[in-house]
Amino acid sequence: MAADKQDPIDLFAEWFAEAKASPLRDPTAMALATVSKDMMPSVRMVLMKQFDHEGLVFYTNLTSTKAQHLKDNPQASVCFHWEPLRRQVRVSGKFEAVTLDEADAYFASRPRESQLGAWASLQSQPMKSREEFEQRLADVTRKYEGQEVPRPAHWSGFRMVPTRVEFWMDRPFRLHDRWVYQRADAQQPWQTQLLYP
């Protein structure tokens, strides 16, 4: 067990490297749980695009349900489940917007088809038919033919600044290893506590 590390991001980096080397299809997949203005919880899978000691980053359409939830209530949680390793990591904290430069740089690194899709999709809004979406995609494809696709103003990213990171590792007979790192805010040192499974 590695609960003796002073910073949970160092341990997360080790576990993430092992997850990438495992048979997992996508170790960046994380369940994002948010809460609406009227306190209705919502959870969905998103992809973590980067992490460091500043936090975990994902990108989305800013008109999406999850983006609206994070604007109304930036406190949220994510969960990674790396089944081949029999491990889970839960992270809670406050989300903040990434910088425009970060959003531009990541958007520029995406496949062109994904860039065009960001313009064509009215994410989370009702759609009459698949054909309607395909027509919107055809329209933006023609619009940006022969030129770079700029990042839409309605597309950007969020960074979770973690205040709680819990590591869980499977052991036989439900005698698991479980420990948590907590801090009041990003300026405070991490405190570690073992938990009963």
Calculate mean pLDDT across residues 54-64: 97
pLDDT at residue 40 in the model: 95
**pTM (2 d.p.):** 0.92
Rounded Cα–Cα distance for residues 167 and 95 (Å): 20
Which domains does the chain carry?
A: 8-101+159-194 (2.30.110.10)
* CA distances to 101, 123, 149 from 105, in Å: 6, 21, 12
pLDDT at residue 188 in the model: 92
Please tell me the total number of residues recorded for the chain in this structure.
197
Provide the strand spans (E) within 54-154.
55-61, 75-82, 87-97
Rounded Cα–Cα distance for residues 47 and 27 (Å): 9
pLDDT at residue 144 in the model: 97
CB 64 within 8 A of CB 32: no
* CA distances to 62, 106, 116, 151, 174 from 101, in Å: 16, 9, 19, 11, 46
pLDDT in tens, 125-159: 999 999 999 999 999 999 999 999 999 999 999 99
Confidence at 167, pLDDT banded by 50, 70, 90? very high
pLDDT at residue 143 in the model: 97
Q: Which residue has the higher pLDDT, 4 or 73?
A: 73
Give the lowest-confidence range in 5-9, 107-111, 145-149, 161-165. Answer: 5-9
* Token pair belonging to 118: 């960001």
Confidence at 3, pLDDT banded by 50, 70, 90? low
State which amino acid sits at residue 80: F
pLDDT in tens, 66-125: 999 999 999 999 999 999 999 999 999 999 999 999 999 999 999 999 999 999 999 889
CB atoms closer than 10 angstroms to residue 53:
11
Q: Which residues are catalytic?
A: 174
CA max distance for the chain: 60
pLDDT in tens, 22-58: 999 999 999 999 999 999 999 999 999 999 999 999 9
* CA distances to 115, 120, 130, 146 from 134, in Å: 14, 8, 6, 20
What stretch of H or E contains 181? strand 177-182
pLDDT at residue 5 in the model: 73
Main-chain dihedrals φ then ψ at residue 174, nearest 5 degrees: 60, 25
pLDDT at residue 59 in the model: 98
Residue 185 has pLDDT above 60, yes or no: yes
